Amino acid sequence: MPIAEIIAIALAGFAAGAINAIVGSGTLITFPTLVAFGCPPVVATMSNAVGLVAGGVSGTWGYRRELRGQAHRLKWQIPASLTGAVVGAFLLLHLPEKAFTTIVPVLLGGALILVVAGPKIQDWAKHRAEDAGRSATDIGTARTVALTFGTFAVGIYGGYFTAAQGILLIGVMGALLPESMQRMNAAKNLLSLLVNIVAAAAYTLVAFDRISWAVAGLIAVGSLVGGSVGAKYGRRLSPTALRGAIVVLGLIGLWRLLA
């Protein structure tokens, strides 16, 4: 592998790790980079998923304080993410590539709308809860079910394609949870990491010879450092700045997918 290609892939991994910790669309950096260097799309998807696990670990660790107090919801979301990831990985290994990627721009566009509308939806839910004499922090059974199903659906998407799954998660949680952006971002990092672990394990077990391990290693090294950097600076962003970063990078990702 030429030295220029090695550097480019490692830098793409660094950028993806940082972006995933803050927003969640780093695959939109690494995936096109790998394809540009001649990686077949499915090989690029699998190698990328394996490599980005390291960045997910460092990004999740960097947001560990914001995860406190979320166990009561994560006990439903974690199994949903894991189950969805298994389904998504199965689909990637058995369905034609075009069978799923045609709907990706629609899903991403819908998620961005939810990210933008999140504060208004949360305010509406808060006022409705107060009018009914309930605590605004009590999401109730219906929203818990919706959150679990939404997390499961995003897990399927993440296990299949991985790109921008974090934006989809933020969109779902922002519409259903009375939480701050930073706390939702922490949960997003953990759930995305679990999906990537499941997908990477499935690809390794079923298609070990189709993974480019040199590429996966370069992305792992770059994303491990990038995840730490992204978590460090992402935690300092205001909710408005974080939401703005998600929308801007999401729009860029949507443009790249459509292009």
Note the pLDDT tens digit of each residue in 237-250: 776 776 677 777 66
Q: How far is CA 86 from the centre of its chain?
A: 15
DSSP SS3 for 1: coil
Banded model confidence at residue 108, pLDDT cuts 50, 70, 90: low
Note the pLDDT tens digit of each residue in 166-196: 878 888 888 788 778 888 889 999 999 999 8
Token representation of residue 90: 């199965």
Please determine, for residue 135, whether its predicted confidence score (pLDDT) is greater than 60: no
Note the pLDDT tens digit of each residue in 202-217: 888 888 888 899 999 9
Nearest to 231 by CA among 178, 179, 201, 192: 192
- Cα 196 to Cα 1, 107, 134: the distances in Å are 26, 19, 37
Question: What does the pLDDT read at residue 259?
Answer: 65
Greatest mean pLDDT among 16-25, 45-54, 120-129, 155-164: 45-54
Which single residue is written with the structure tokens 């995936």?
Answer: 31
DSSP SS3 for 164: coil
111: left (phi over 0), alpha (psi -120 to 50) or beta: alpha
Please determine, for residue 31, whether its predicted confidence score (pLDDT) is greater than 60: yes
Which single residue is written with the structure tokens 């730490």?
Answer: 228
Greatest mean pLDDT among 37-41, 73-77, 127-131: 73-77
The whole-number average pLDDT for the span 66-87 is 91
Of residues 259 and 68, the one with the higher pLDDT is 68
